[in-house]
Structure 1
Amino acid sequence: MTDPTLLDAYRYRRVGPVELYLGDARQVLAAMPQASVDSIVTSPPFWGLRDYGTGAWHGGDPACPHPPGADRRTVGAPCPRCGATWVDPQYGLEPTVEEYVERLAAVFDGARRVLDPAGTLWLNIGDSYTGGTRRAYHSGETNSPGRAPLPPKNLIGVPWRVAFALQARGWWLRNAIIWSKPNPMPESVRDRLSTSYELLFLLTRSHSYYFDLDPIRIPLARPQAADGTRIIGGARKGRTGGIGATARRRGSSAYGAGKYGAEDIGVEPRAGAGNLAPLGHAHTAAHPKGRNPGDVWRIATRPYRGSHMAPFPVDLPMRAIAAGCPPGGRVLDPFSGAGTTGLAALRLGRRYMGIDISYAFHDEALTRLAPHLPDKTSRQDGR
């Protein structure tokens, strides 16, 4: 049984349906009650991308200027002059990608414990290339600590390394969602394609979990006909040359018969009829509430003028929370940052718990969340 006083020691502020905790995510999660949140939506610091300035020298001579050449990006690095040790609680600056993955996996071990058995985890994480300070190592080839790093300019595959690590530790990996950005950050590269997406993984504690597709369905573009049916194919044949969905499934196109036969595209004759149907099921009408949004989400980034350098757009957690957290439930972000997940949670009528190592980010988050708090008189409770 978790001692509630341990969690109180990390509480930074409680304001109505919002609770903010200051400290390392792994330590705060260890103090939280088991199965106490309904959904986790988070975007941890990406590996080797940013330094949020949370490190400091500990021990040694306080008057030592600490030479600029000292390795401040490696936790535990000593000052060559006074012997002070560099301590930094932030994630993302680990010397190797394997250390980063292991450290994140340990955080989500704790997250799995505090998540309801029917809960969902939505994990947004980006990739990076080797080069400069990013020293990725081959994974799984040898247990020798002296293994050779990947050569520069290699795409490391950080998101999938993290996802597979969580899967190996008991998580169900349910979806790999492509967050497609119509306005990605420009890149001055000439020997590869610029990056215009990030990954959002849906993971669960068990094979059965809360998931409501209806709130995130995409409304149908075609109006409903008088007989209740909807047109889901192309334009009528003979007007614009469009074809229906059934014809496309048979391998046809607007330019004539398909290149492949029925046996090549996975269809078989429907019993008692000459037309074709997909293997194993018949074609059905579209859902009246709209279509499944699929695993490619086209969501534009949004400008942000706060001190946090990389908040995701609120549209991303809103879609995740609407589908993966029951009404009135509790949403957790163990890397709260500017509180974007909290903003989405409040807009959707959920409670929010955020963890961060920066009190400045918590203050920034409270400023953003204040207009969305349901009861203005409750904004001063907590500490």
Structure 2
Amino acid sequence: MRQDYQMRGRGMKTEKIDRPEQLSFSESMIYHGDALTVLRRLPDCSVQTVVTSPPYWGLRDYAIPDQLGLEGRLPQYLNALRSIFSEVRRVLKDDGIFWLNIGDGYTSGNRGWRAPDKKNPARAMSVRPETPEGLKPKDLLGLPWRLAFALQDDGWYLRADLIWNKPNAMPESVKDRPTRSHEYLFMFTKDERYYYDRTAIMEVTGNTRRNRRSVWNVNTIPFAGAHFATFPPGLVEPCILAASRPGDFVLDPFFGSGTAGLVAQRLGRKYVGIELNPAYVAIAAERLEADEKAIVRVAA
């Protein structure tokens, strides 16, 4: 709410901006809005775990104003994520876990576009960021680790770096390096002590159960409702099982088509999703069979 008033004795008109009303939830919710804007209005320590995969830098153009991932410079992208995940840290319970899936990429060589791909139309881009300062054309960005170290500096505990191995990875038309078939999944916590149910995700080999290893083999899964491979349920499920109990809230601040919500729902948890793109909000709502009361538009 805004309130105009005259400064006494100076005849100067100023504007008082009140703090936006806090958002509250007791059931699963989808918030349509910018991740940082919505997160700033969520209550402290209100979700048990966070599972998310933000837009990668310079790899997709979703044609949405204020979208993340098309910043002109890499530090701008990293700083935007640090701001968002600072709010995530506040919203996460003290014994909670934050699971972050983030992919890497290569410098564009200052080429300002990328050609379409018959198998992956969303690959085409009319604008791409310039090669970051200090890197060279064809350099691997090392983005996941740049972000992980930045979040460590912000106070997060980096507890594990997990490899998401994709047995059905998309082919690449490269002949001077191996084809990439993995991404990182980082496990962060707010404290050195936290809730983690290792028995819920133990591996079974024959008659033997063992502690979960750090390489997870999970196929990518195309989704007919969008022109991209969605967050696979097989990657999300162990994160939710290990870091939450039935009835707990699972947050995904980059909800997309709602896969984290679907898995949470199936496992008896509640979800809180935040998504900027109205097309994806509609897709997620349909997949989750969410009614109108469970979808809230949050203006910037």
**1:354 counterpart SS class:** strand
CA distance in structure 2 between the partners assigned to 1:294 and 1:365 by the alignment: 31
Matched, 1:119 2:129: no
Contact 1:338 1:365 in 2 (8 A): yes
SS in 2 for 1:116: strand
Q: Number of aligned residue pairs: give it.
A: 260
Matched-pair contact (CA < 8 Å) for 1:338–1:362: yes
* Preserved CA contact (<8 Å) 2:53 2:100: yes
Correspondence 1:342 to 2:269: no
- For 1:210 and 1:184, the matched residues in 2 are separated by 33
Partner of 1:166: 151
Larger radius of gyration: 1
TM-score scaled to structure 1, two decimals? Answer: 0.65
Is 2:40 the partner of 1:44? no
Question: Which of the pair is proportionally richer in strand?
Answer: 2
Q: Distance in 1 between matches of 2:218 and 2:76?
A: 31
For the structure 1 residues 96 and 195, does the alpha-carbon distance in structure 2 shift closer, same or farther, using more than 3 Å as the test? same
**Corresponding residue number in structure 1 for 2:64:** 54
> Do structure 1's residue 110 and structure 2's residue 95 form an aligned pair?
no
Q: Which amino acid in 2 is paired with 1:103?
A: A
- Normalised TM-score (structure 2): 0.82
Partner Cα separation in structure 1 for residue 40 and residue 294 of structure 2: 21
Percent identity between the aligned chains? 45
How far did 1:313 drift? 0.7
- The CA deviation at 1:382 is 4.5
Cα distance in 2, alignment partners of residues 169 and 297 from structure 1: 27
4+ residue stretches of structure 1 with deviation over 4 A?
A: none
Deviation readout 1:170-221 (Å, 9 max, x if unpaired): 0000000000010001100000000000000000010011100111111231
Contact kept, 8 Å, 1:346 with 1:352, in 2: the verdict is: yes
Question: Match for 2:245 among 326, 340, 343?
Answer: 326
In the alignment, the residues of structure 2 paired with residue 54 and residue 152 of structure 1 have an alpha-carbon distance, to the nearest angstrom, of 28
Q: Matches of 1:31 and 1:164 in 2, distance apart?
A: 27
In the alignment, is the contact (CA less than 8 A) between 2:220 and 2:229 conserved in 1? no
1:367 is aligned, of 278, 286, 292, to 286
| Within-5 A mapping of 1:197-208 | 197-208=182-193
- CA distance in structure 1 between the partners assigned to 2:152 and 2:53 by the alignment: 18
Aligned residues of 1:342 and 1:354 also touching (Cα < 8 A): yes
Quick one: distance in 2 between partners of 1:380 and 1:192? 49
Unpaired stretches in structure 1, ≥5 consecutive residues: 9-13, 56-88, 138-147, 223-285, 374-378
Report the Cα distance in structure 2 between the residues aligned to 1:359 and 1:130, rounded to whole angstroms: 30
C-alpha distance in 2 between matches for 1:185 and 1:358:
25
SS in 2 for 1:343: helix
| Distance across 1 between alignment mates of 2:227 and 2:279 | 9
Cα pair 2:161 2:187 within 8 Å, conserved: yes
User: Letter of the aligned partner of 1:200 in structure 2?
Assistant: L
Match of 2:195 in 1: 210
The structure-2 alpha-carbon separation of the partners of 1:136 and 1:115, relative to structure 1 and needing over 3 Å to count, comes to farther
SS in 2 for 1:31: coil
Query: Which residue of 273, 296, 303 corresponds with 2:215?
Result: 296
Structure 2 residue runs of 5 or longer lacking an equivalent are: 1-17, 112-127, 296-300
Change in CA separation of 1:4 and 1:135 when aligned onto 2, cut-off 3 Å: closer
